[in-house]
Structure formats: C-alpha cells, structure tokens
Amino acid sequence: MANEAMNDPSANRPARQAPARVVALLAGGASSRMGGRDKALARLAGARLVDHALARLGPQADRLVISGPHDYGTGLPCVPDSAEGPRGPVAGIFSLWRWVEANAAEARGFFTAPVDGPFAPPDLVARLAEAGGPAIAADPQGSHPVFAYWTCAALAQAWPAAKDAPSLSLKALAATCGARAVVWPEEGFFLNVNTPDDLERAAKHLL
C-alpha cells in the first residue's frame, strides 16, 4: 500500500482549496417603511444594524462587500446598483455578479444577507455552501431569499431574460436559478428590521 501511495501522483499534490467565500451585505433599499431613515443606521442595543450584521457575517467570510452606495465608515468595497436591468433587490444581485466576476472570479459565486438582518445564523455560509449550488435560507415561517448563495454561472444564464423584465422578485430569481431551500428548524435567525415595530421586536429578541 505504501508503494502504491508513493506511485500515486496525486499523493503529493496540495489539498484543493475551497472557493473564496464572498459575502455581500444588501444595503441598497429605500427604507420607506422606516420613514425614509436608513435602516443600516438604526440602533439596536446601542449598535447600528449594519454593525450587528457585519459582526455576524464577518467571521464567515473571506471577503466582505456592501451592495449599495455607502460603506458606513467600514472601509469595505461598495457595489452600487447598475442602471441596466430590473430594479429592486435583484439589481443588487446582478451588480454583485459582475463585481465578483471582475474582482473575485475564483469565488464562483457569493453569499448575501440583508443589512437589516441582525441575527444571521453562525453557520449561514457553511450550510448554504453545502447545497452545492444556488441556495436560499428557510425556516418554519417560510423562505428568506435575501439570505442566499448565488452562483455566477446561474446568474449568467438568468440575465438574458431578466435584463428586460420591468420587475423581478428575489424569490422569482432564485427559482429561475434553481436555488434549493436550506432549512433552519429554529425561528428568529432571519428576522428583518423593516419598521420601527420590527426594531422593537428585535430588541426583545436580544433579551
């Protein structure tokens, strides 16, 4: 067996590295349900929502980027929405696709989470990656396509039809990409802070 191992050319190859984990924080929304106040700057337990989200996502990422026009003083790269293609959250997804292909092609795709999601699970990236392709998070309350893994290959296939669509939801784009649902049995990880009432709920969640 030892001689077989010595004659195996793969025995001395370095272990294949996993693709880089690019995690993007979606922060391009209008925050209309927060009275026009930028949700990223809303305070929860003394810290901004953007800081809560980054604290959860940072340990899971090799590279962090912000999908939106502001870096909120973090120094992270910002990827603004492109003027081409559908509006809304999917605009950020397609802009991130182009950014990853230009700046982190070795990643093959990217993970997303919202700036107003302060409780992302610590195994979000690991479990979405295990799906082996496009994937969205889900829990007993339903699916949460803002918490997702998007592959560049799937987005490239979706783009020709999507670019002329007047509107397209994240859920519809995920379905087009063939995304699988990855289910967390616990509730609360995917709470979004869209309104002042949601902010109060999030504060109670911390207790």
28 marked as binding residue: yes
Report how far residue 63's alpha carbon sits from residue 76's, in angstroms, rounded to the nearest whole number: 9
Compute how many other C-beta atoms are within 10 angstroms of the C-beta atom of residue 181.
Answer: 15
Report how far residue 55's alpha carbon sits from residue 204's, in angstroms, rounded to the nearest whole number: 19
Give the strand pairing for 135-139 and 180-183: parallel
81 marked as binding residue: yes
CA 69 to chain centre: 16
Report how far residue 89's alpha carbon sits from residue 169's, in angstroms, rounded to the nearest whole number: 7
62 marked as binding residue: no
197 marked as binding residue: no
Report how far residue 117's alpha carbon sits from residue 94's, in angstroms, rounded to the nearest whole number: 21
How crowded is the C-beta side of 161, counted as CA atoms within 13 Å? 9
Phi and psi at residue 137, to the nearest 5°: -80, 150
51 marked as binding residue: no
What type of residue is 36? G
Of 147, 130, 128, 123, nearest in space to 24 by CA: 147
39 marked as binding residue: yes
Binding residues for Mg(2+): 116
Binding residues for GTP: 26-28, 39, 81, 116
